[in-house]
Structure 1
Amino acid sequence: MGARVSIGDFAVMSSLSRKALRHYHDIGILEPVHIDAHSGYRFYDTSQVDHAHIIRRFRFLGMSIPDIKALLSTEDTKARTEIITTHLEQMEAQLQHTRDTVGALRELLSPVQAPADIEVRVEPALAVWTIGTTLETSEIDSWFTVTVRKLRDAVAAASGDQSEVVPGGLYDRALFLESSGRASLFVPAPQSARPPSGIRAQLLPPAQFAVLTHSGGHEGIDRSYAALGTFTNEHLISDQGPIREHYIGGTRSEPTTFTATEICWPVFSTTPPQE
């Protein structure tokens, strides 16, 4: 034990305000060694200063109160290391997210420029296996992951190979306009095979698109959509049909990690596409 000090002195020594010290006392992570029965004044011990500094630093780094409480209440070195390591990983992920966001904001300082590699393409009729549903935009990521895996597994079971599978998606304009609408994922149908339960066989009709290839993952794809939409509306005639995407580069071990996404914006053509 060290010397007993008032809450005022302890606030100076720990760089924690009176309000913070009272809060940490109330939640049980930094309790005074003595409370005067008549005045209610709190007194701390100088040996608690390091304890207070640990709390202040981890709170500054965004660690939750329950995690700090668990960290300070255990003598298990492995458990402490796990708590700190988990928090550091969360900080690194947040830092990367911040860097990505800063990069995206810097791009917003300059106008959207339509890349030179936008092409107008006629997609022929295509027999597919498809899964569709109506959902909220907030549900798309989790639904997408489950559905892509289900389609790839179905193709592998039917053909024995899924290495060349390029999934695609169709997204109604309502998903963009109303944050709720119809979404479908599809894969080219294996020859001479019937789709399993829960998957529907369908023939996608021929259609014409303006196509832009967005490199990498989903990060920044909004800018690619903006560039493609700008080009389409300035140089072509935009069709209000569903947006189509093709997901390139997925593997059996990482079926939802793609090297590129083809964004296909439907356009009107004076020449009907050939069947």
Structure 2
Amino acid sequence: EPAHIDPCSGYRFYDTGQVDHAHIIRRFRSLGMSIPDIKALLSADDTAARTDIITTHLEQMEAQLQQTRDTVSALREMLSPVRTPTDVTSRHEPALAVWSVSATIDISGIDDWFAASLRTLHRAVAMAAGAPTAVVPGGLYDRALFLEQRGSATMFVEAPPSADPPEGIRAEVLPRAEFAVLTHPGGHDGIDRSYAALGIYVNEHLISSQGPIREHYLGGTPTDPARFTATEICWPIFSTTAPR
């Protein structure tokens, strides 16, 4: 605060006793600290309170730095050409009895729907008698969801044996199908690049088939079911060879 404000001109005057505070303000402003935080810092009566304020600001700056790094990495990927992957495999998936949750959603809401549906299925399976200890969830996505920003989405898990699904969850059988499979490291971060690479490969080397894109989510844990070590992208194909 200024020591005096001229009532006529509005000029702000400071005295020499405020020099130290001025240096502190300038220093922390140069480090990106907000005015309210600097005011709280100068008003703090003890070292612990000041340390907490500075530590909080440091954590905010670290998070901002990581966000900037992620943005730079994503921009670099956008500038680099999509490479045709060499590790695409063909796979026959047999018919599978599952418990599922489905909805028609906008692409903007897919993350919230995904997390909520996954939690619902994990809770249901955990309460079922004879449920497997390891659950590998999967997803089915209508291509309109990506092309038109709105479409059908289904989350599923393998059905526990001899158990009926609770209310709100459907029991169904996924039909057998042939897929071109590409494994994307991690969850959905950057998965659009892997989708593009797999799509190019299928169009150049295979025959694409109708039907939803299928995903399998690997490496999730009961404590953090929405974090995966890998995501299998399964693109439906028309196969001319018999399954092995």
TM bucket (normalised to shorter chain) is 0.7 to 0.9
CA distance in 2, matches of 1:174, 1:215: 25
1:32 CA drift (Å): 1.2
Larger deviation, residues 80-89 vs 186-195:
80-89
Which residue, 189, 193, 198 being the options, matches 1:219?
A: 189
Which residue, 62, 76, 84 being the options, matches 1:92?
A: 62
Which residue, 153, 161, 177 being the options, matches 1:183?
A: 153
> What's 2:118 paired with?
148
1:100 CA drift (Å): 2.8
Residues 42-57 of structure 1 aligned to structure 2 (within 5 Å)? 42-57=12-27
1:230 CA drift (Å): 1.0
Larger deviation, residues 60-69 vs 206-215:
60-69
* Total equivalences in the alignment: 244
1:177 CA drift (Å): 1.8
CA distance in 2, matches of 1:36, 1:247: 67
* 1:252 and 2:217 matched: no
Q: Deviations over 1:143-201 (max 9, x none)?
A: 22222122112111114655310000111222212322222111000011001111111
1:135–1:90 distance in 2 versus 1, CA, 3 Å: farther
> What's 1:33 paired with?
3
AA aligned to 2:113 is: W
Alignment check: 8 A CA contact 2:139 2:216 kept = yes
1:34 CA drift (Å): 0.4
> What's 2:101 paired with?
131
CA distance in 2, matches of 1:87, 1:202: 51
Higher RCO, Cα 8 Å, sep 6+: 2
CA distance in 1, matches of 2:58, 2:83: 38
CA distance in 2, matches of 1:192, 1:262: 28
1:107 CA drift (Å): 3.7
Residues 107-118 of structure 1 aligned to structure 2 (within 5 Å)? 107-118=77-88
Which residue, 158, 166, 183 being the options, matches 1:196?
A: 166
CA distance in 1, matches of 2:36, 2:130: 49
1:109 CA drift (Å): 4.2
Alpha-carbon RMSD: 2.5
SS at match of 2:128: helix
Alignment check: 8 A CA contact 2:93 2:176 kept = yes
1:258 CA drift (Å): 0.9
CA distance in 2, matches of 1:181, 1:61: 46
Structure 1 spans left out of the alignment, 5+ residues: 1-30
Alignment check: 8 A CA contact 2:132 2:160 kept = no
CA distance in 2, matches of 1:161, 1:193: 9
1:263 CA drift (Å): 0.6
CA distance in 2, matches of 1:208, 1:233: 15
> What's 2:133 paired with?
163
CA distance in 2, matches of 1:63, 1:159: 55
AA aligned to 2:64 is: Q
Larger deviation, residues 208-217 vs 132-141:
132-141
Larger deviation, residues 222-231 vs 70-79:
70-79
> What's 1:16 paired with?
none
Larger deviation, residues 96-105 vs 114-123:
96-105
Structure 2 spans left out of the alignment, 5+ residues: none
TM-score by length of 2: 0.87
Alignment check: 8 A CA contact 1:207 1:273 kept = no
1:64 CA drift (Å): 4.0
Rg (Cα) greater in structure = 1
1:271 CA drift (Å): 6.0
1:214 CA drift (Å): 0.9
1:68–1:153 distance in 2 versus 1, CA, 3 Å: same
